[in-house]
Structure 1
Amino acid sequence: MMTQNHHNPNGRVCGKVALVTGGAKGIGAASVRMLAAEGAQVLISDLDVEAGQALAAQIGPSASFIRHDVSSEEQWRQVIDQVRERYARLDILVNNAGILIGGSIEQTTLADWHKMMRVNADSVFLGCRESLGLMKERGGSIINLSSIAALAARDDYLAYSASKGAVAALSRSVAAFCRRRKYRIRCNTLHPDGVLTDMTRGGFPEGVDPNRLTIDSDPMNRMCLPEDVAASVLFLASDESRAINGVELRIDSGQMVMSI
C-alpha cells in the first residue's frame, strides 16, 4: 500500500505552487517530496509516466503528474497554461530535468552536443521565459540545477559542462532582468558535484559500491544523496532566502576549495 506524505499546513512553503521538471526520480523526486511535505502543491513534470504517476500517488493530494518534454517550446506553453488554469499562480519553478553524456573535445559528436544543449540548456531557457508571465504578479523563486562542472574543468564531459555553464549564465541574466523590473522573482543556481541517482549509479566500475563513496562514509568523498540537494531547493524556494538572488550555490562537500 502506498503511504502518503504528511502535508504540513505550517510548512516552509505552505500555500505555494511548485513545478519541478525531471521530478519523477533522483534529485527531482527528492525535491518534490520535500516541497510537498512542507506545504506546497507540487506539479511533477517528467517523460517517465510510470514513475511520475507512482510518486504522485505516494505523496497524495498535494502532488500531481504531467508528462512533459522539457525541450519542446509548445509543451512548455501547454504546461504553464495548465498551471494557470488549475492554480492561477506559480511560486516555485525547479528546472531540474537533465541528461548526462560523456566525451572529451575529441570524442563529442555534434549530435551529442545538440542533444545536451537541447535538454539541459534550452529547457531552462524555455522554463524561465514561459513562467515569468505567471510568476511576476506575486513574485517567486526560480531554481535552476547546474553542476560543479560549470565552475570547474571536466575534460571528459565537454558538452555536459558547457550546457550547465549556459544554465549558470542564463540564470544570472534572469535574476538581473527580474530585479531591474522589480518583479520580485529570484533566480539562483545549484551546483552539485557527485549525487547518487539512477543516472550516476550506472557510471561506476563493476564491483564498486557507490554507497561507500558518499560523505557519510568519509567526509573526503564527493558523493552526496539527492536529499542533500533537495534541502537546498527547499531553502531557495522558501521565503527564508528572500534576499538571495543570482547566486551559484555549490553542493560539493568542499571539493572546490581543496588546493591539493
Structure 2
Amino acid sequence: MNDLTGRTVIVTGGARGLGASAARHAVAAGAEVVITDVLEGEGRALAAGLGAHARFLRHDVTSEADWRRVADFTAETFGGIHGLVNNAGISAGTTLETESVAHFRKILDVNLTGVFIGMKTVIPAMREHGGSIVNISSAAGLMGLALTAGYGASKWGVRGLTKIGAVELGTARIRVNSVHPGMTYTPMTAAVGIETGEGKYPNTPMGRVGEPDEIAGSVVYLLSDAASYVTGAELAVDGGWTTGPTVAQVTGQ
C-alpha cells in the first residue's frame, strides 16, 4: 500500500498540472505536503482546498536562498523532510539550430539546476531518517525528441543526476528515482492544442495522452515504502511512447 502517514513531502511546481495532482495524491496517502511554486494564487488556493495537511510557499527553484527557506520551514513545521518531488519545470523549444543560447540556459537553470539545488538542500535532513527523492524527468529524457534542445537536454540531465544520487545516497537510506511522463494533459500542454480522449494521440501504443493522476500514482508509489528497494530507477509513464513505434507507424496505415 502506498501509505505516507507520518511523512512530510515537498512538491515543487505544485500549483497546477502534474505537481498539483501529486500533492493531492500525497495528502490522500496521509502525508503532510508543502506545495511550492511561483504561481502564488493558484498554489495558495490548492493548499487551502487540501486543508490542514497542506501548506504553500512561493519558491523560485533556481534560488539557493529560496530552497533553504523551504527546507527550514518544512523541517521546523513538520519535524523533518521525508520526501521531495522535483516537479517544477518549463517546456518550450525549437530546433537545435535555432534555439537561442539564452533560452537554452534558462531551461537548464530551472529544469536541471533547480533539481540539483533541491537534492543538495534536502539531503542533510533526510540523512536523519532516510527519505525518497522523486525527480520528474520526461519521455524526452529517454529518447531524442525533435524541437526540444534545451528541454530534452535538461531532462536527460535529470535522469543522470538521479542515477548519481541513487549511487551516492543508497547507504544513507535515501532513495532517488526518476519518473518519465509521456505527453500528459496539463495547462502547459493544453496551451499547444493537446487534447484528452481515446485516439487523440495515435503515435503512442495506447493511442491517447496521459492524465496527471496517472503520473501522480507512480510518484506516490516511489515516495512510499512499497518502493523500499527501488532506487536509481527510471519509470516511464508514457502509454508506451518510448517503447517503440506503433503498428500504424510501421505499416504506414
TM-score (ref. length: structure 2): 0.92
Q: Distance in 2 between matches of 1:11 and 1:174?
A: 23
Q: Distance in 2 between matches of 1:197 and 1:188?
A: 22
Matches within 5 A, 1:109-124: 109-124=100-115
| Structure 2 unaligned spans of 5+ | none
Which residue number corresponds to residue 164 of structure 2? Answer: 173
Which residue of 31, 34, 42 maps to 1:40? 31
Which residue number corresponds to residue 240 of structure 1? Answer: 226
Q: Distance in 2 between matches of 1:210 and 1:38?
A: 26
Structure 2 residue 84 is the aligned partner of structure 1 residue 93: yes
| Cα deviations by residue, 1:44-75 (Å, 9 ceiling, x for unpaired) | 00111110110011110000100000111111
Structure 2 residue 141 is the aligned partner of structure 1 residue 150: yes
Q: Distance in 1 between matches of 2:180 and 2:195?
A: 24
Which residue number corresponds to residue 10 of structure 2? Answer: 19
Which residue number corresponds to residue 241 of structure 2? Answer: 255
* Identity of matched residues, %: 38
| Structure 1 unaligned spans of 5+ | 1-9
Structure 2 residue 180 is the aligned partner of structure 1 residue 194: no
Q: Which amino acid aligns with 1:36?
A: V
CA shift for structure 1 position 258: 2.4
Q: Distance in 1 between matches of 2:155 and 2:53?
A: 30
Q: Which amino acid aligns with 2:191?
A: G
Which residue of 220, 224, 235 maps to 2:210? 224
Which residue number corresponds to residue 108 of structure 1? Answer: 99
TM-score (ref. length: structure 1): 0.90
123-132 or 99-108, larger mean C-alpha shift: 99-108
| Cα deviations by residue, 1:130-158 (Å, 9 ceiling, x for unpaired) | 00011111001000000010111112111
Q: Which amino acid aligns with 1:192?
A: P
Q: Which amino acid aligns with 1:191?
A: H
> 8 Å contact 2:36–2:59 — kept in the other structure?
yes
Q: Distance in 2 between matches of 1:103 and 1:258?
A: 23
SS in 2 for 1:137: coil
Judged with a 3 Å threshold, the aligned counterparts in structure 2 of structure 1 residues 11 and 62 are, in CA distance, closer, same or farther, namely farther
| Cα deviations by residue, 1:95-139 (Å, 9 ceiling, x for unpaired) | 000000111111100111111001100100000000001111100
Structure 2 residue 138 is the aligned partner of structure 1 residue 138: no
Q: Distance in 1 between matches of 2:183 and 2:144?
A: 14
Q: Which amino acid aligns with 2:187?
A: D
CA shift for structure 1 position 38: 1.0
Q: Distance in 2 between matches of 1:209 and 1:167?
A: 27
